[in-house]
Structure 1
């Protein structure tokens, strides 16, 4: 379980650094709609990652104790993504649609990079 907590901490750190870069890009460049889209998608992606990590941790604890548990919240995470894409489409003057999609994918990129670096380190 300690290893899982370390992985969560690493992934949060990676996402935090990425969000700082996106915020600086939003403020410092003239590509506001692209960076706004990345920021919107990345914030939702960060929340989805946090939600997934909490659900997986509860699932692991329930398996160890031999209890039944609910799923890992796939429907909630998909609903958030659909809502985010609806917001991006509604306010297209502020958010670049494909940048929002790229921001939503951030969670998966962070998980893969963390796994790759952990395997290389091991």
Structure 2
């Protein structure tokens, strides 16, 4: 589980940098709708990543103790994504649905980039 926490710490840092960049873009560029949409999607994406890490920890702990595990919470993560899309549809003057969906995929993109960076670093150490 220590490795899971290390991965999550790095990914959280990257996502927070992106959220800060989106906030600056929202405040200081002529494209506030785009950056606000990306911010909303990325915030929900981060929430989904955080809940997944928590549930994987509980899953691992339950398996180690020989207990049954209910699920990893796919429905709750889908509901959070649906909420983001609902917000974008409710206020189209403030949000773009396409960019909200792109923001929802941000955590997966960050995970892939983090994986590739770690593989490159391991290759340099050898």
How high is the TM-score relative to the length of structure 1?
Answer: 0.95
**SS state of the match for residue 81, structure 1?**
helix
Matched, 1:121 2:121: yes
1:21 Cα deviation from its structure 2 partner:
0.7
Q: What corresponds to 2:61 in structure 1?
A: 61
**Secondary structure at the residue paired with 2:93?**
coil
Distance between the aligned counterparts of 2:107 and 2:70, measured in 1? Answer: 22
How big is the alpha-carbon RMSD for the aligned residues of Structure 1 and Structure 2? 0.9
Match of 1:36 in 2: 36
Stretch of structure 1 that moved more, 63-72 or 99-108: 63-72
Equivalent pairs counted in the alignment come to 122
Unaligned runs of 5+ in 2: none
Unaligned runs of 5+ in 1: none
Partner of 2:92: 92
Partner of 1:111: 111
The separation in 1 between residues aligned to 2:76 and 2:9, in whole angstroms, is 23
Q: Secondary structure at the match of 2:67?
A: coil
Matches of 2:48 and 2:6, distance apart in 1:
18
Ranges of 4+ aligned residues in structure 1 off by more than 3 Å: none
Which residue number in structure 2 is paired with residue 83 of structure 1? 83
Give the TM-score, by structure 2 length.
Answer: 0.92
Partner of 2:7: 7
Counterpart residue number, 1:23:
23
Distance 2:70 2:7 in 1: 23
